[in-house]
Structure 1
Amino acid sequence: MSDTDMPSARLNRRGFLGAAAAAGLLGTLATPAEAKTAAATVISTESGQVTGVQGGLRGVTVYKGIPYAATTAGANRWRPPQPAPSWDGVRAADSWGPACPQPVTGIPADQVPELGEDCLNLNIWTSATGSGNSRPVLVWLYGGAQALWSGQEIYNGSLLASKGVVVVTLDHRVGPLGGLAHPELTAESGYGGSGNWGILDVVAALEWVQRNIGAFGGDPDRVTLAGWAQGASVVNILLASRRAKGLYHRALLSSGVQYTKDPALAQGTGRYRSLADAEANGTDFAARSGAADLAGLRALDADDIVTRAAADTTADFGHVLDGYVLPDSYTAVLKACAETDVPVLTGVCKDANGASPDLKLTLDAFKAHAQAEFGPLGLADTFLDLYPADSDTSAAQQYSAYARDEERVSAFLWATQFKDTAANSSAVHTYFWTRVPPGYDDTNPVIGTAATGAFQGSDVYYLLGYLYNTDRPWTSKDYDIADTTASYVARFAATGDPNGSSLANWPALATDTPQTMELGAGFGTLAVADSDAKLALLKTYLEAQTTEF
């Protein structure tokens, strides 16, 4: 595996040529002859033969829009994914499949992909030249909550593929089509649950990878399941689930895990509902949609369902504790030592979850927060002493400092649970992302359209290394950081350990050593809080919470 290959570019991206010339990137552009060769290679899958197209970097081929399951329309709506259809002849895998129907309000029309219920398709980037290469595989799940859910070009796998990883991105059901629970669906399912359809799609994609990825040069025994935000929450659920055991062998979660007593779990992407609550919510949504029963819901147009759900402030289509996909609470699974024992790489971003360089907060509101959160434990004065503020400006700065500390401490406590409570032998590597991407990205409807600082998702550019595929004014420093960060990811996918030659040492988590790895603005170890006193305060606060998620 090469740790030195660097990205090429779409030459119409602003600022690319100067930065690329400085970083020495132009030599990796594919030639027309290489593109023709990529398109000519025929790969056999269980459903039929496919050809790909040149993948953006020299030697990389991408296969787009390969079905891993059947359409979810008609009778298949709100059912577990069904087997993919077969085809005759050679299918040109040269265009993206549809994304799941979803709200696209506010997203420029030229950035909205085709939408449709025949959305269970995946895309593969590989630089392997045959089935005998046995390369590590990374399956990437998209994030987004009120933004675009799609596994298409914004998650470009070319750079990781050039480093010897076979990268798979996929589309799965989202929103009401991916999360509706209903008593009739529970009765129909055969396993006593409903909802979580999108997670079942991910399981089906992982099963497809097991059966087919060898033909693309991938090793089915070295699969990393990865994602950010919403996607990372799916990875976390599948760590707790029995549905995907044996289908992946490492887990990468960007902005995806928190200590299981952290109150933030009640509001974040990892939250879940009981099956009873989810069924009641689905029943109410059906009634408000004019559907008397499941047949009536299935008769509705998918776009109509999406539109109604977007306008329905009481509808909820998040994860469901159904006893099947998610067998129990996160805490209970960990205590039962039932968490999947695989190497984990996980981290958070500096300016996320309440922290921001642009935060506006009054001093009174800051003090009120201290009393509300820390007062019941008799720790409000301690909090205000450790995060002192005497103005609105300093209150906002101190709140951001507190939020950054708490995120790191929460991730450390989760990793401690994973290692100690679940008695897992696999290593955990945690990180704190600190690089602020330059400018804005008008081409990306999901990550960083108008966010500032090292915002949630800012690490994803660099983890995948797809800077050249966006519209930010990247510098040669950014390309260097992306190459280093993607090299850590490639090493983790290959071995379960991100460390490698020429990379700064990244220690595995030790439960008695509260430290993490800084990635981005620098590469080196970092304490999980800015002082021992702050660590003690936040650890006491989190461990004293009574609700276990």
Structure 2
Amino acid sequence: MGSYAGLAGECQGYTRAGQAGSEACRGYSEDCLNLNVYAPSSSSTTATSSGTGSSPQRPHAKRAVMVWIHGGCFVSGSAAGYNGTQLAKTHGVVVVVIQYRLGVFGFLGGEELRERDPEGSTGNWGLLDNVAALKWVHSNIAAFGGDPDNVMIFGESSGAGSVSQLLGIEAAWPYFHKAVMESGTAAFWTYLPLENAQQSYTAVLASTGCASALDKVDCLLGAGSNGFTSAVTSVPCRDGCTWAPTIDGVLIPDKTLSLGQQGYLRPNTPMISGFNLNDGAMFVPGYPAVLKTMSAAGLQTYFSDRFGEERVAELSTTFPVPGAWPGSADLSPYCYSAQQCETDFSYACTALWLTAAEAAGQATYVYLFSEPTTGDLALHGDEIKYVFGTLKEPSASQTAVSEAMMTYWTNFAKTGNPNDDGGAAGSSSRRAPPLEWPVWDAKSAAVLNITSSPIVRSVPVASYVGCPFFQQHWAFYSGCLPPPGRAVEKMAV
């Protein structure tokens, strides 16, 4: 599989070589719209990997289908990094790992682009690629033993953001039936307001020499790809993604959270949303050195630069520094507070809020992944290898956690209930989940803490650490904060 990366030092918009793990850059191209299929053999003992061009003999049983959308802040990543063999072979499902256009090729947005779309969208081609992949799965997955009427989409980080967006895109609704969002549910960085996307569009016009063209879009179509990919490397929104889906009022009518709260997301869709204990640690400025070195002054600077000097005192109370630090050796007590704040802002609160909005009338589940994986921490993305069963030299406890997550995820794909496979194909080789995972509702507020000693906690949204603070100020913070180096505008206290 090739991949596209739009980050400095990661081919800067080039496609990579065809083999997974290769760092060779092979020139600019949008020729990345392919996918991998992992399907059990008819005996359920082996799995096969295929591109879009091959169709193995159809097994007798229809199997649940799990379609993975990779992360990478909408600018990097590829299908090559995810192997669905273990899920398919040991849990009796069909796994599809898709690719989609990224960066400028996937998410260039501007008013003048509407004329190129019959529906009047500004672009969002990366999401339209997701929809096209789901249509392909619907039409072809039966040839691999998959059930086109039992499809679960799941993804992590911006992949979870893509899943969030697909919940609001009606064109995608016929092609999936369940959704799992890992560390990116309805997050503020999974979209760009049109005015901010327009800024990047204007920069691309300038870099390609099309700013003064009579037909700017036609000029862009004839411009060299080098001008496209090198035009925008800055992030328009504070700690957002350089490129992201544009809220254009057509394909994406509004923020995912707003759509959910208004009842406009896909109806009757069982959902799992979750986040990792230390999701935000990697996004505290100065990572990774700051994990161990952050001081009291550094924490105050983080609060001030990130959320405005008017909020430092309130945030210091909301995220207090532990007195006698019993925690991780990989975190200073000051960075513990900072990363907890960042985790709540970027991952935890939107997961809880969207769950609360969607809980009425459909099954919704929430998890917290806290198994120590990167040293003492459970960082952003650490759960992925547990879900896919691809940990290298795992400990006994990590093996148990991986088996539990594979079971929960595949059960959910089969039945919409992570505790029950419904007697589906391939279940004879599986173990039962280690703990019953309750449906979330406003009364129980049940969150499954996924670790080697799993527990279910009651986590009312209104009292979860930083969520009351962020809910109070969400209209401001969920917009487009100034990028680093520019002060956050003062707000009335």
TM-score (norm 1): 0.68
Q: For structure 1, which runs of at least 5 residues remain unmatched after alignment?
A: 1-95, 259-264, 440-451
SS of the residue corresponding to residue 243 of structure 1 reads helix
Q: Which residue does the alignment assign to 1:295?
A: 218
User: Within the alignment, does 1:494 sit opposite 2:414 as a pair?
Assistant: yes
The 5 Å alignment of 1:375-414 reads 379=314, 382-383=317-318, 387-388=321-322, 393-401=332-340, 403=342, 407-414=347-354
Cα pair 1:321 1:328 within 8 Å, conserved: yes
Verify the 8 A CA contact 1:374 1:380 in the aligned structure 2.
no
TM-score by length of 2: 0.75
388-397 vs 498-507, which deviates more? 388-397
Match of 1:510 among 429, 441, 453: 441
- Report the number of matched residues: 419
Within the alignment, does 1:305 sit opposite 2:236 as a pair?
no
Aligned equivalent of 2:429: none
Alpha carbons 2:104, 2:228 under 8 Å: kept: yes
Distance 1:399 1:325 in 2: 35
When residues 337 and 438 of structure 1 are mapped into structure 2, their CA distance, relative to the original with a 3 A threshold, is closer
For 1:475, which of 388, 395, 409 is the aligned residue? Answer: 395
- For residues 60-82 of structure 1, give each alpha carbon's deviation from its aligned partner in whole angstroms, at most 9, with x where no partner exists: xxxxxxxxxxxxxxxxxxxxxxx
Aligned match of 1:364 in 279, 297, 308?
A: 297
How far apart, in 1, do the equivalents of 2:322 and 2:273 lie?
A: 30
The alpha-carbon deviation at position 428 of structure 1 amounts to: 1.0
Distance of 1:367 and 1:405 partners within structure 2: 17
Partner in structure 1 of residue 22 of structure 2? 111
Query: Within 1, Cα distance between the matches of 2:457 and 2:233?
Result: 41
Aligned alpha-carbon RMSD (Å): 3.4
Match of 1:161 in 2: 88
Select between 321-330 and 426-435 the one with higher mean Cα deviation: 321-330
Structure 2, unaligned runs of 5 or more: 43-57, 283-287, 326-330, 421-431, 479-493
Which residue, 80, 96, 99 being the options, matches 2:3? 99
Which residue identity does 2:30 align to in structure 1?
Answer: E
Within 2, Cα distance between the matches of 1:147 and 1:180? 12
Is residue 380 of structure 2 the alignment partner of residue 456 of structure 1? yes
Report SS of the residue matched to 2:366: strand
2:204 aligns to what? Answer: 285
CA contact (8 A) 2:193 2:246 kept: yes
The CA distance in 2 between the partners of 1:100 and 1:322, in whole Å, is 24
Counterparts in 2 of 1:401 and 1:235: CA distance versus 1, 3 Å: closer
Counterpart of 2:100 (choices 172, 175, 186) is 172
The answer as to whether partners of 1:255 and 1:456 remain within 8 angstroms in 2 is yes
Instruction: Report the counterpart of residue 150 of structure 2 in structure 1.
Output: 222
2:273 is equivalent to residue 346 of structure 1: yes
Give how far 1:303 is off.
4.6
Letter in 1 for 2:39: T
Give yes or no for contact 1:352–1:456 (8 Å, CA) kept in 2: yes
Q: Aligned equivalents of 1:351 and 1:536: distance in 2?
A: 15
Q: 2:33 aligns with which of 120, 123, 141?
A: 120
* Contact 1:438-1:473 at 8 Å conserved across structures: no
- Pairs within 5 Å for 1:29-68: none
CA contact (8 A) 1:101 1:303 kept: no
Question: Following TM superposition, by how much is the alpha carbon of 1:141 offset from its aligned partner in structure 2, in angstroms?
Answer: 0.5
Distance 1:281 1:519 in 2: 40
- Distance between the aligned counterparts of 1:317 and 1:430, measured in 2? 28
Q: Quick one: distance in 2 between partners of 1:325 and 1:203?
A: 11
Would the alpha carbon gap of residues 157 and 311 (structure 1) be closer, same or farther in structure 2, given more than 3 Å must change?
Answer: same
Q: Does 1:133 align with 2:61?
A: yes
Q: Could you tell me which amino acid in structure 1 is paired with residue 206 of structure 2? A: A
Identity %: 24
Residue aligning to 2:364: 428
